Protein backbone atom coordinates (compact mmCIF):
# COMPACT_ATOMS: atom_id res chain seq x y z
CA UNK A 1 0.00 0.00 0.00
CA UNK A 2 0.99 3.19 -0.64
CA UNK A 3 1.07 5.55 1.91
CA UNK A 4 -0.42 8.62 1.14
CA UNK A 5 1.37 11.53 1.79
CA UNK A 6 -0.47 14.44 2.93
CA UNK A 7 0.96 17.70 2.27
CA UNK A 8 -0.36 20.59 3.98
CA UNK A 9 -0.24 23.83 2.43
CA UNK A 10 -0.50 26.96 4.23
CA UNK A 11 -2.81 29.32 2.69
CA UNK A 12 -2.23 32.74 3.64
CA UNK A 13 -4.76 35.27 2.73
CA UNK A 14 -3.24 38.45 2.13
CA UNK A 15 -5.04 41.53 2.33
CA UNK A 16 -4.66 43.24 -0.86
CA UNK A 17 -4.21 46.83 -0.62
CA UNK A 18 -6.38 48.83 -2.84
CA UNK A 19 -4.87 50.99 -5.36
CA UNK A 20 -5.78 54.66 -5.26
CA UNK A 21 -8.00 54.09 -8.25
CA UNK A 22 -9.91 51.39 -6.49
CA UNK A 23 -10.26 53.54 -3.37
CA UNK A 24 -11.81 56.37 -5.42
CA UNK A 25 -14.33 54.02 -7.04
CA UNK A 26 -15.40 52.63 -3.67
CA UNK A 27 -15.85 56.06 -2.15
CA UNK A 28 -17.69 57.10 -5.26
CA UNK A 29 -20.20 54.28 -4.82
CA UNK A 30 -20.67 55.27 -1.18
CA UNK A 31 -20.98 58.95 -2.16
CA UNK A 32 -23.46 58.11 -4.87
CA UNK A 33 -25.75 56.29 -2.52
CA UNK A 34 -25.56 59.10 0.05
CA UNK A 35 -25.95 61.70 -2.71
CA UNK A 36 -29.18 60.14 -3.98
CA UNK A 37 -30.53 60.09 -0.43
CA UNK A 38 -29.56 63.78 -0.15
CA UNK A 39 -31.44 64.52 -3.33
CA UNK A 40 -34.46 62.64 -2.05
CA UNK A 41 -34.33 64.61 1.20
CA UNK A 42 -33.99 67.91 -0.68
CA UNK A 43 -36.91 66.99 -2.94
CA UNK A 44 -39.10 66.16 0.04
CA UNK A 45 -38.16 69.43 1.81
CA UNK A 46 -38.81 71.46 -1.34
CA UNK A 47 -42.15 69.68 -1.86
CA UNK A 48 -43.22 70.48 1.69
CA UNK A 49 -42.11 74.11 1.22
CA UNK A 50 -44.09 74.41 -2.05
CA UNK A 51 -47.18 72.84 -0.48
CA UNK A 52 -46.91 75.19 2.50
CA UNK A 53 -46.51 78.16 0.14
CA UNK A 54 -49.61 77.17 -1.83
CA UNK A 55 -51.65 76.75 1.38
CA UNK A 56 -50.40 80.13 2.66
CA UNK A 57 -51.30 81.78 -0.67
CA UNK A 58 -54.82 80.30 -0.55
CA UNK A 59 -55.30 81.48 3.06
CA UNK A 60 -54.03 84.98 2.20
CA UNK A 61 -56.29 85.15 -0.86
CA UNK A 62 -59.29 84.10 1.25
CA UNK A 63 -58.48 86.70 3.89
CA UNK A 64 -57.97 89.39 1.24
CA UNK A 65 -61.35 88.53 -0.30
CA UNK A 66 -62.97 88.67 3.14
CA UNK A 67 -61.38 92.05 3.92
CA UNK A 68 -62.52 93.43 0.55
CA UNK A 69 -66.06 92.16 1.20
CA UNK A 70 -66.11 93.68 4.70
CA UNK A 71 -64.81 97.00 3.38
CA UNK A 72 -67.51 97.01 0.69
CA UNK A 73 -70.20 96.34 3.32
CA UNK A 74 -68.74 99.11 5.49
CA UNK A 75 -68.92 101.55 2.59
CA UNK A 76 -72.54 100.56 1.92
CA UNK A 77 -73.39 100.97 5.61
CA UNK A 78 -71.68 104.37 5.64
CA UNK A 79 -73.73 105.44 2.60
CA UNK A 80 -76.94 104.25 4.25
CA UNK A 81 -76.04 105.97 7.52
CA UNK A 82 -75.27 109.19 5.64
CA UNK A 83 -78.64 109.07 3.87
CA UNK A 84 -80.35 108.30 7.18
CA UNK A 85 -78.58 111.23 8.87
CA UNK A 86 -79.64 113.59 6.06
CA UNK A 87 -83.23 112.37 6.40
CA UNK A 88 -83.11 112.79 10.18
CA UNK A 89 -81.64 116.29 9.80
CA UNK A 90 -84.48 117.24 7.44
CA UNK A 91 -87.03 115.84 9.89
CA UNK A 92 -85.31 117.71 12.73
CA UNK A 93 -85.44 120.98 10.78
CA UNK A 94 -89.11 120.38 10.00
CA UNK A 95 -89.87 119.61 13.65
CA UNK A 96 -87.93 122.68 14.78
CA UNK A 97 -89.92 124.84 12.35
CA UNK A 98 -93.17 123.29 13.61
CA UNK A 99 -92.05 123.82 17.20
CA UNK A 100 -91.28 127.46 16.42
CA UNK A 101 -94.71 127.87 14.81
CA UNK A 102 -96.38 126.23 17.80
CA UNK A 103 -94.41 128.42 20.18
CA UNK A 104 -95.39 131.53 18.24
CA UNK A 105 -99.00 130.37 18.11
CA UNK A 106 -98.99 129.67 21.85
CA UNK A 107 -97.47 133.10 22.48
CA UNK A 108 -100.09 134.71 20.25
CA UNK A 109 -102.87 132.82 22.03
CA UNK A 110 -101.50 133.85 25.42
CA UNK A 111 -101.23 137.43 24.19
CA UNK A 112 -104.80 137.32 22.90
CA UNK A 113 -106.01 135.92 26.21
CA UNK A 114 -104.03 138.56 28.07
CA UNK A 115 -105.21 141.39 25.87
CA UNK A 116 -108.80 140.15 25.45
CA UNK A 117 -109.90 142.43 28.26
CA UNK A 118 -108.35 145.47 26.56
CA UNK A 119 -109.83 147.59 23.80
CA UNK A 120 -107.90 148.34 20.61
CA UNK A 121 -108.42 150.99 17.98
CA UNK A 122 -108.50 149.21 14.63
CA UNK A 123 -107.94 152.21 12.34
CA UNK A 124 -111.53 152.64 11.15
CA UNK A 125 -113.16 156.06 11.62
CA UNK A 126 -115.54 158.59 10.08
CA UNK A 127 -115.72 162.33 9.96
CA UNK A 128 -118.92 163.15 11.83
CA UNK A 129 -122.16 161.18 11.84
CA UNK A 130 -122.84 161.64 8.13
CA UNK A 131 -119.41 160.66 6.75
CA UNK A 132 -118.55 157.19 5.44
CA UNK A 133 -116.45 154.78 7.48
CA UNK A 134 -112.84 154.85 6.16
CA UNK A 135 -109.69 152.93 7.02
CA UNK A 136 -106.48 154.78 7.93
CA UNK A 137 -105.16 154.41 4.36
CA UNK A 138 -108.33 156.11 3.01
CA UNK A 139 -109.96 152.96 1.62
CA UNK A 140 -113.70 152.45 2.11
CA UNK A 141 -115.09 150.09 4.74
CA UNK A 142 -117.10 147.13 3.44
CA UNK A 143 -120.05 146.17 5.68
CA UNK A 144 -119.51 142.56 4.54
CA UNK A 145 -116.47 142.32 6.86
CA UNK A 146 -118.36 142.89 10.12
CA UNK A 147 -121.20 144.94 11.57
CA UNK A 148 -120.43 147.98 13.68
CA UNK A 149 -122.50 147.60 16.87
CA UNK A 150 -123.30 151.15 17.84
CA UNK A 151 -123.35 153.58 14.95
CA UNK A 152 -124.85 156.41 16.97
CA UNK A 153 -125.79 159.83 15.71
CA UNK A 154 -123.65 161.34 18.44
CA UNK A 155 -120.88 163.37 16.79
CA UNK A 156 -118.29 162.05 19.25
CA UNK A 157 -118.57 158.42 18.20
CA UNK A 158 -116.15 158.64 15.32
CA UNK A 159 -113.75 155.67 15.77
CA UNK A 160 -114.18 151.86 15.86
CA UNK A 161 -112.55 149.68 18.52
CA UNK A 162 -112.20 145.95 19.09
CA UNK A 163 -112.37 144.07 22.38
CA UNK A 164 -112.21 140.28 22.10
CA UNK A 165 -114.96 139.48 19.60
CA UNK A 166 -116.85 142.76 20.19
CA UNK A 167 -116.64 145.65 17.74
CA UNK A 168 -118.02 149.01 18.82
CA UNK A 169 -117.62 152.75 18.39
CA UNK A 170 -116.34 155.38 20.77
CA UNK A 171 -114.98 158.88 20.85
CA UNK A 172 -111.63 158.93 19.12
CA UNK A 173 -110.06 160.66 22.14
CA UNK A 174 -110.68 157.82 24.58
CA UNK A 175 -107.66 155.89 25.82
CA UNK A 176 -107.34 152.54 24.06
CA UNK A 177 -104.46 150.49 22.67
CA UNK A 178 -103.63 150.60 18.99
CA UNK A 179 -103.27 147.52 16.84
CA UNK A 180 -100.90 149.48 14.61
CA UNK A 181 -98.95 152.57 15.53
CA UNK A 182 -98.55 155.59 13.29
CA UNK A 183 -97.22 159.08 13.60
CA UNK A 184 -99.94 161.45 14.80
CA UNK A 185 -100.73 164.46 12.65
CA UNK A 186 -100.39 167.52 14.93
CA UNK A 187 -103.67 169.04 13.61
CA UNK A 188 -105.59 165.84 14.35
CA UNK A 189 -104.03 165.62 17.80
CA UNK A 190 -105.10 169.20 18.47
CA UNK A 191 -108.68 168.41 17.38
CA UNK A 192 -108.76 165.31 19.61
CA UNK A 193 -107.53 167.37 22.55
CA UNK A 194 -110.19 169.94 21.84
CA UNK A 195 -112.91 167.25 21.70
CA UNK A 196 -111.69 165.77 25.02
CA UNK A 197 -112.30 169.12 26.68
CA UNK A 198 -115.99 169.12 25.74
Residue 125, phi then psi, degrees to nearest 5: -150, 175
Q: Give 148-173 pLDDT, tens digit per residue.
A: 776 555 666 688 888 877 888 888 88
Q: Exposure of 175 by Cβ count < 10 A (0-12 exposed, 13-18 middle, 19+ buried)?
A: exposed
Is this model's pTM higher than 0.75 or not?
no
CA–CA dist 63, 74 (Å, integer): 16
Contact 99, 112 (CB under 8 A): no
Mean pLDDT computed over 133-146:
87
Q: Give 59-110 pLDDT, tens digit per residue.
A: 999 999 999 999 999 999 999 999 999 999 999 999 998 888 888 777 666 6
Amino acid sequence: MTSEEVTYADLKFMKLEKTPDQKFQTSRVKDCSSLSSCWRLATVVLGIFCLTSVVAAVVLAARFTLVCHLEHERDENFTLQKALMESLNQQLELLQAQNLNLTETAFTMQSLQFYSSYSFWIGLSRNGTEGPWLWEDGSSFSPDLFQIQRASTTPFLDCVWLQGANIDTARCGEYKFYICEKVVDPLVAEQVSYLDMD
